[in-house]
Amino acid sequence: MRPLLLRLVFALALPVVLVAVWWVSSADSEDVYWPPLRTILETFPGVWTGERWRGDVLPSVLRLAAGYVLAAVAGVALGTLIGSYRRVRAVCEPVLEFLRAVPPPVLVPVIMLFAGIGDTMKIVVIASGCVWPVLLNTVEGVRAVDAVMTETARSYGITGAARLKDVVLPSASPQIFAGLRQALSIGIILMVISEMFAASNGLGFTIVQFQRSFAIPDMWTGILLLGLLGFVLSVLFQLVERRALGWYHGLRAAARRSR
Amino acid sequence: MLDVRGLRKVYEGAGRHVEAVRDLTFTVEAGELVCLVGPSGCGKTTLLKCVGGLLEPTGGEVYLAGRKVDGPPPGMAFVFQEYGRSLFPWMRVGQNVGLPLKRKGFDKGRRRALVADALASVGLADAAGAYPWQLSGGMQQRVAIARALAYEPEVLLMDEPFAAVDAQTRADLEDLVRRLWRERGITVLFVTHDIDEAVYLGERVVVLSASPTVVREQLKVDLPAERDQLSTRVAPRFAELRTHVYEQIQAAKRGAVTAGTDKPPPH
């Protein structure tokens, strides 16, 4: 139990310090834009009522989930295809480099022209930003499958779908997960941005509304909530990753021990 | 069982033309244990990959039980030197051994029985639930051997399988191969650069020349079938045979040309 307790202390120490610093430094702030943390926390329960959760938080999270899953599926599928065939890679690589270099928020106005201003637009925006790290990492992971493993699979007649499922994708999975992790933070950013352009609900929309109506403490609660959302999602991600990549972490630890 | 005729392999690279294997002809009878030994860098691995259908030869043919090999045939199983990279680290030992069996269309019960049997015969009956990286190097190579056994191949191809394990483990694994060969009556083609290993293991030793490789000599190992690390390795006949193979390899390194013979050195 002790190591767990110690880890908890380590994990919580810095956040506690930061919150304390925020609390003290803002305690008697008169600045309208920099309200005391105390005020923000007092405002929080009144702002984020059940109705807000249903009407704003849930739609945001659902759009994020839809865009993210879309990006993950498309990224892994295309990445596997591109990574597996040298010819396809040669054709796609320059285009990929270009598309990757375009900052995703720039796409929002463009996608609005095609997809309107509804949920579809937001999901497409999120997906089109999230797909790149997944895609590029999958390409690298699929390319890097060990030569001996490839030959082993071939010599035992493990080909086609079985090869993909049992050899290529598991072998690439550490890199795929690295891409998925990057994509998650990009997804949250794009979720907010897409709601700032043209929306009638959502977290980003609500925060902008608060700011425009000078409900500054309310705006701060929204920012706080976004931070918490990001934190919860990253913890969830870590849980999934630890399960899926248990073998990888064990392998790495074993390699370190034997060195 | 295994028939290699006029095998030739040339690697064509950017402006480079490397003849790795020039002309190899030899056969392995059903139930035989044949060791291929040659100087370092003589194209042993290239040769074995051509035999196993992993590489396409530039010339010549390989026949397995009368059928021409073009691509890895279902009747061959490979044991690679790099056990750590040949076992899949995301699968447990049992899954690793059982994976190739799915292709054979066996039902779950049959697969499980084959896996359990193969693991038991390499002395790893309890390890099915472990990950390969939780095992020592020698145990990992045992898993690779079990995977090959469970596959029930007509010919087992082993590419310097014990080159990366320590000497004691190597001795154990050599005895394991001898025992499995005798118990199961499988056909084994074993590639090594270790002369002692070749003589200790093989019923026949095929000595290869330096690259571009040809067969330099084929030598029948007339040691008793019952071999053990202590008495066999100090037997006078073992010393004679290993000295003979050693001289052949040394001569091969110098590039001396002697006609290949089938005659063993005189008693």
Asked whether the CA dihedral B211, B214, B217, B219 is positive or negative, the reply is positive
Q: Give how far B222 is from chain A: nearest CA, Å.
A: 33
Chain A segment 157-176 residues within 8 A of B by beta carbon are: 157-158, 162, 166-167, 170-171, 173
Number of H helices, E strands in chain B: 9, 10
Q: Give how far B99 is from chain A: nearest CA, Å.
A: 8
For residues B49 and B25, state if they share a domain.
yes
For residues B15 and B129, state if they share a domain.
no
Q: Where are the alpha helices (DSSP H) in chain B?
A: 44-51, 83-86, 93-103, 108-121, 137-150, 167-184, 195-201, 231-234, 236-254
Q: Considering B191, B209, B227, which residue would you say is the last residue of a domain?
A: B209
Structural domain of B145? 87-152
- What pLDDT, on a 0 to 100 scale, did the predictor assign at position A257? 84
For residues B9 and B130, state if they share a domain.
no
- What pLDDT, on a 0 to 100 scale, did the predictor assign at position A259? 67
For residues B64 and B173, state if they share a domain.
yes
Facing residue for A154 by CB, picked from B54, B99, B131: B54
Alpha carbon of A176 to those of A87, A181, A244: distances in Å? 22, 9, 11
Cα–Cα distance, A68 to A131 (Å, whole number): 8
Give the HSE-up count for residue A187: Cα atoms under 13 Å, Cβ half-sphere.
30
Name which of B45, B62, B95, B133 to mutate to probe chain A: the one with the most chain A Cβ atoms within 10 A of its Cβ: B133
The complex's ipTM? 0.87
Cα–Cα distance, A74 to A131 (Å, whole number): 7
Determine, yes or no, domain membership for B219: no
Contact flag A170-B54 (C-beta cutoff 8 Å):
no
- What pLDDT, on a 0 to 100 scale, did the predictor assign at position B262? 47
Q: b/e map of A182-221 (b: 16 or more CB within 10 Å)?
A: bbbebbbbbbbbbbebebebbbbbbbbbbbeeeebbbbbb
Contact flag A173-B91 (C-beta cutoff 8 Å):
no
Could you say which residues of chain A have pLDDT below 70?
1-2, 259
pLDDT in tens, chain B (267 residues): 899 999 999 888 777 888 888 889 999 999 999 999 988 877 888 899 999 999 999 999 999 998 999 889 988 999 999 988 999 999 999 999 999 998 888 889 999 999 999 999 999 999 999 999 999 999 999 999 999 999 999 999 999 999 888 999 999 999 999 999 999 989 999 999 899 999 999 999 999 988 788 888 899 999 988 898 888 999 999 999 999 999 998 888 887 555 444 455 565
Cα–Cα distance, A45 to B86 (Å, whole number): 57
**Cis peptide bond prior to B89, omega within 30° of 0:** no
Name which of A150, A154, A155, A165 to mutate to probe chain B: the one with the most chain B Cβ atoms within 10 A of its Cβ: A155
How many CB atoms neighbour CB A165 within 10 A?
11
Query: Which tokens in the block code for residue A243?
Result: 């399960």
What chain A residue is nearest to B87 in terms of C-alpha separation? A149
A70, with CB counted inside 10 A (0-12, 13-18, 19+), is middle
Determine, yes or no, domain membership for B34: yes
Residues with Cβ within 8 Å of B69's Cβ and at least 6 positions away in sequence, in order, are: B51, B52, B53, B61, B62, B63, B76
For residues B38 and B101, state if they share a domain.
no
Name which of A156, A243, A259 to mutate to probe chain B: the one with the most chain B Cβ atoms within 10 A of its Cβ: A156
- What pLDDT, on a 0 to 100 scale, did the predictor assign at position B102? 86
Query: Which tokens in the block code for residue B79?
Result: 């044991």
For residues B128 and B157, state if they share a domain.
no
Alpha carbon of B187 to those of A81, A202, B5, B178, B181: distances in Å? 39, 69, 18, 11, 7
Determine, yes or no, domain membership for B260: no
For residues B26 and B10, state if they share a domain.
yes
**pTM of the predicted model as reported, rounded to 2 decimal places:** 0.88
What chain B residue is nearest to A243 in terms of C-alpha separation? B90
What chain B residue is nearest to A173 in terms of C-alpha separation? B90
- What pLDDT, on a 0 to 100 scale, did the predictor assign at position B18? 86
For residues B158 and B67, state if they share a domain.
yes
Q: Considering B188, B209, B230, which residue would you say is the last residue of a domain?
A: B209
Cα–Cα distance, A73 to B131 (Å, whole number): 28
Determine, yes or no, domain membership for B10: yes
Determine, yes or no, domain membership for B246: no
Q: Is A148 on the interface with B (CB under 8 A)?
A: yes
Facing residue for A254 by CB, picked from B74, B99, B134: B134
Which strand (E) or helix (H) includes residue B204? strand B204-208
Q: What is the CA radius of gyration of chain B?
A: 18
Q: What is the DSSP string of A165-203?
A: IIIIHHHHHHHHHHHHHHHHHHHHHHHHHHHHHS-SSSH
- What pLDDT, on a 0 to 100 scale, did the predictor assign at position B263? 52
Cα–Cα distance, A160 to A138 (Å, whole number): 18
Instruction: Assign a CATH topology to domain A56-254.
Output: MetI-like fold (1.10.3720)
Long-range contact pairs involving A203-212 (C-beta distance under 8 Å, separation at least 24): A203/A56, A203/A57, A203/A60, A203/A229, A204/A60, A205/A56, A206/A52, A206/A56
Which strand (E) or helix (H) includes residue B192? strand B187-192
Determine, yes or no, domain membership for B202: yes
Give the HSE-up count for residue A102: Cα atoms under 13 Å, Cβ half-sphere.
15
Q: Give how far B160 is from chain A: nearest CA, Å.
A: 14
For residues B132 and B31, state if they share a domain.
no
What value, to the nearest 5°, has the Cα angle with vertex A69 and ends A65 and A72? 140
For residues B44 and B111, state if they share a domain.
no
Contact flag A148-B99 (C-beta cutoff 8 Å):
no
Cα–Cα distance, A184 to A233 (Å, whole number): 8
What chain B residue is nearest to A246 in terms of C-alpha separation? B90
Grouping H, G, I as helix, E, B as strand and the rest as coil, residue B5 is strand
For residues B111 and B142, state if they share a domain.
yes
For residues B197 and B129, state if they share a domain.
no
Grouping H, G, I as helix, E, B as strand and the rest as coil, residue B167 is helix
Residue B187's CATH number: 3.40.50.300
Question: What's the structural domain count of chain B?
Answer: 2
- What pLDDT, on a 0 to 100 scale, did the predictor assign at position B260? 46
**Helix, strand, coil shares of chain B as percentages rounded to 5?**
40, 25, 35
Alpha carbon of A193 to those of A109, A111, A187, A202: distances in Å? 11, 13, 10, 11
Facing residue for B85 by CB, picked from A149, A158, A167: A149
